[in-house]
Structure 1
Amino acid sequence: SGGEPWPPAGFAPAAPAPEPASVPELVEGRPEAAPVPVAAQVAAASPAPTIEGPLPFTPTVYATPASDRWNADRVARRGKTPIAPAQPQRYGRFTKLQWTGAIIVAGAGLLVAAAMAVLFVRWFLSLGFMQDFLAAFPGEYHLPASAPVGFPAWLGWQHFFNIFLMVLIIRSGIRIRTEKRPTAFWTPRRDPKGKVSLTIWFHQSLDILWLVNGIIFVVLLFVTGQWMRVIPTSWEVFPNALSAALQYVSLDWPTENGWVNYNSLQQLAYFTTIFLAAPLAAITGYRMSGMWPKNAKGLNKAYPIEWARAVHFPVMIYFVLFILVHVTLVFATGALRNLNHMFAAQGSIDPNAYADNWAGFWIFVAAMAVVAAGWIAARPLVLAPIARLFGTVSGR
């Protein structure tokens, strides 16, 4: 109040004088509409741009891996979170293309290593002292005079039952390790707290049948004297097993006739499977099952469940490898003769006999059809009615 006016006169720039309005011209005595400026026409035709979305234009440059990396670096420098580009699907640690490359490289490496091993062993066996070793230990030793010759029919049936049960046990065991959310559960009638998944019930039921079949098999082995074919009776089994292994690697396989005698490498493999691996699988499986006493603190401390878990799965891997090698050698060392031995209980002292007999082959085909049917039927839709006979089946 009382001061001079602000701003002083002449300080602020003067406003530009307005353009004089155009005077409409008369056309045939009528006034013409005033022309609209071009800028006003463009503004009226185009919507006002906003900053909330991308500009409406057709892209002519498309994203590439290099541009994605450049964009990510640029956005990161601005302190913003970049949008990660789409990644290829991974199976475990690698993508499908990486797995394919790894398999090809590993397969080629194995072939090269196998070829080098064959060449080296063939050269090694050609040396003089190794020729003497092969003459002294051809790959098998003579069994006791009381050892039986041939395979009885019960051995073929036991062999089939073991195949059938073992395949389903491996299938259900792998399913237990990979099953995250079971679709069905089984509960015993006498123990409502003993609820387990239907897969575990199936696995343990197969284990019981497999153990019963194994006990019958071992008893018959000792009653009939067949044990002498699978249990070593001489220390010569070890040098002969080494000799057989070297002959297999050299691809000059030892002459054998399982109807009379196994070679020493076979005998050790069968002994390990029957009397070491099978009991180990049973003992560790029983420790992990619901039949193990839960309140036995001293027993649980002496035999921790972690030990059983650490051993049970490698034993299963051993069985899988044994089956693969066993089946491969059955077909590679005279398929018809070996199938007649195992499935038709037919054979001869002459290793070349029964070479044209297809009986064992067709029995084998029928047995594999039964195994395949069991594999397909091992699902909750089929297992649930069977499990209800022994307990209660419920959903998730």
Structure 2
Amino acid sequence: MSTTGRQRSRGKQLAIAIPAALVVLVAVVLLARWLRGMEGVESFIATYGGDAPQPEAAPVGIPAWVGWQHFLNMFLIVLIIRTGWLIRTTQRPKAHWTAKRPGFLWGKRPQRISMDKWLHVSLDVLWVLNGLVFAVLIFATGHWMRIVPTSLEIFPNALSAGLQYLSLDVPSHSGWAAYNGLQVLAYFITVFIAAPLAAITGARISPAWKPEWRASTLVPIEAARKVHFAVMVYFVFFIIVHVTLVLTTGVLQNLNVMYAARDEVSWVGLGVFAASLVVTIIGWVLARPMFLSPIASMSGKVTR
């Protein structure tokens, strides 16, 4: 199929998928509101308001380093998803890269890879390093207690919070003081399950992996590719839901908490977020062979 044909096919799929998703969303909201009208459900929500139990020693507030972590994660994950999708869908890359000398990331015999894969791997390394810094900081500061479930009551509270969100009756809680049950589960899955899976499966399908390693038989490359793609879909879903809730449940206060480490309603957080969005858009525009070639040429040979 030609490039034009593939684009038309994807356009038709989107033309069907987007309205279908909206219909499903409306149906889910109506179902949630119907459930909220039932006496047993209202009693359940009254008992479990959605707040997540956490240790008394859990810190209150969002430290400043979480703000720059938000920016770095947003910048890197957006470009990682973009390059990953290009690797999966592009049949004729515009440029290729070959390492000048053997190295950890490229093995003893450097492979000729597309520039999209070169950028994807490079961004992955930065994302993993950023994740390691985050892991050190959350355990060093006790911030882990805000995103790790410490009681089985997290599950009914998460269900309660989910019903409240879906019925468009937002849970009344302060994200500055503590996350609700659904947020805790979502952040825990993202940080401690999805992110490590992305890193491990990414390493398995990367040029750095040596086929002769014993682990190759334990984790077949095709299985790793499928899991890696599934994790990407999860991240896209998480980002869409996360951004939607941030923008629709008190955007100014939410962005102040996330980006400016302030528990107030002001324009500071929005300004920081807008600046980070501009940087991300610039990164998106510059993530092309014509702009990346000078940088890539410092460590390898760039060819068409």
Normalising by structure 2, we get a TM-score of 0.90
The answer to whether structure 1 residue 318 and structure 2 residue 229 are counterparts is no
The 5-angstrom pairing of residues 88-167 of structure 1 reads: 91=6, 102=16, 107=19, 110-167=21-78
The 5-angstrom pairing of residues 169-208 of structure 1 reads: 169-191=80-102, 193-208=110-125
Q: Which runs of 5+ in 2 are unaligned?
A: 103-108
Greater CA deviation, 138-147 or 160-169? 138-147
Secondary structure of 1:386's counterpart equals helix
Residue 376 (structure 1) shift: 0.3
The answer to whether structure 1 residue 383 and structure 2 residue 292 are counterparts is yes
Query: Judging changes above 3 Å, is the alpha-carbon distance between structure 1 residues 381 and 333 closer, same or farther for their aligned structure 2 residues?
Result: same
Name the residue aligned to 1:362: 271
Query: Judging changes above 3 Å, is the alpha-carbon distance between structure 1 residues 245 and 164 closer, same or farther for their aligned structure 2 residues?
Result: same
Residue 94 (structure 1) shift: 5.6
**Higher relative contact order, structure no. (Cα contacts within 8 Å, ≥ 6 residues apart):** 2
Secondary structure of 1:392's counterpart equals strand
Greater CA deviation, 184-193 or 373-382? 184-193
Of residues 249, 253, 261, the one that matches 2:170 is 253
Secondary structure of 2:97's counterpart equals strand
Query: Judging changes above 3 Å, is the alpha-carbon distance between structure 1 residues 251 and 189 closer, same or farther for their aligned structure 2 residues?
Result: same
Q: Look up the equivalent residue of 1:121 and give its one-letter code.
A: A
The answer to whether structure 1 residue 236 and structure 2 residue 145 are counterparts is no
Residue 113 (structure 1) shift: 4.6
Secondary structure of 1:300's counterpart equals helix
Residue 193 (structure 1) shift: 4.0
> Kindly, what percent of the aligned residue pairs are identical?
51
Residue 300 (structure 1) shift: 2.0
Query: Judging changes above 3 Å, is the alpha-carbon distance between structure 1 residues 319 and 102 closer, same or farther for their aligned structure 2 residues?
Result: closer
Secondary structure of 2:254's counterpart equals helix
Residue 118 (structure 1) shift: 3.2
Name the residue aligned to 2:257: 341
Of residues 164, 185, 190, the one that matches 1:268 is 185
Q: Look up the equivalent residue of 2:168 and give its one-letter code.
A: L
| Deviation per residue, 1:252-303 (Å, 9 max, x gap) | 121121101111011100110111001101111101111111233x432222
Does structure 1 retain, via aligned residues, the 8 Å contact 2:52–2:184? no
Name the residue aligned to 2:195: 278
Residue 385 (structure 1) shift: 1.0
Query: Judging changes above 3 Å, is the alpha-carbon distance between structure 1 residues 300 and 160 closer, same or farther for their aligned structure 2 residues?
Result: same
Residue 148 (structure 1) shift: 0.7
Aligned-partner Cα distance in 2 for 1:94–1:376: 25
Q: CA RMSD in A?
A: 2.1
Name the residue aligned to 1:19: none
Query: Judging changes above 3 Å, is the alpha-carbon distance between structure 1 residues 376 and 346 closer, same or farther for their aligned structure 2 residues?
Result: same
Residue 329 (structure 1) shift: 0.2
Query: Judging changes above 3 Å, is the alpha-carbon distance between structure 1 residues 123 and 193 closer, same or farther for their aligned structure 2 residues?
Result: closer
Secondary structure of 2:96's counterpart equals strand
Secondary structure of 1:310's counterpart equals helix
Does structure 1 retain, via aligned residues, the 8 Å contact 2:201–2:225? yes
Aligned-partner Cα distance in 2 for 1:112–1:179: 31
Normalising by structure 1, we get a TM-score of 0.70
Query: Judging changes above 3 Å, is the alpha-carbon distance between structure 1 residues 251 and 224 closer, same or farther for their aligned structure 2 residues?
Result: same
Aligned-partner Cα distance in 2 for 1:130–1:254: 15
Query: Judging changes above 3 Å, is the alpha-carbon distance between structure 1 residues 299 and 379 closer, same or farther for their aligned structure 2 residues?
Result: same
Name the residue aligned to 2:219: 303
Residue 304 (structure 1) shift: 1.1
| Deviation per residue, 1:121-153 (Å, 9 max, x gap) | 323223332222112100113322111111111
Aligned-partner Cα distance in 2 for 1:169–1:253: 32
Aligned-partner Cα distance in 2 for 1:305–1:172: 19
Q: Which runs of 5+ in 1 are unaligned?
A: 1-88, 348-353
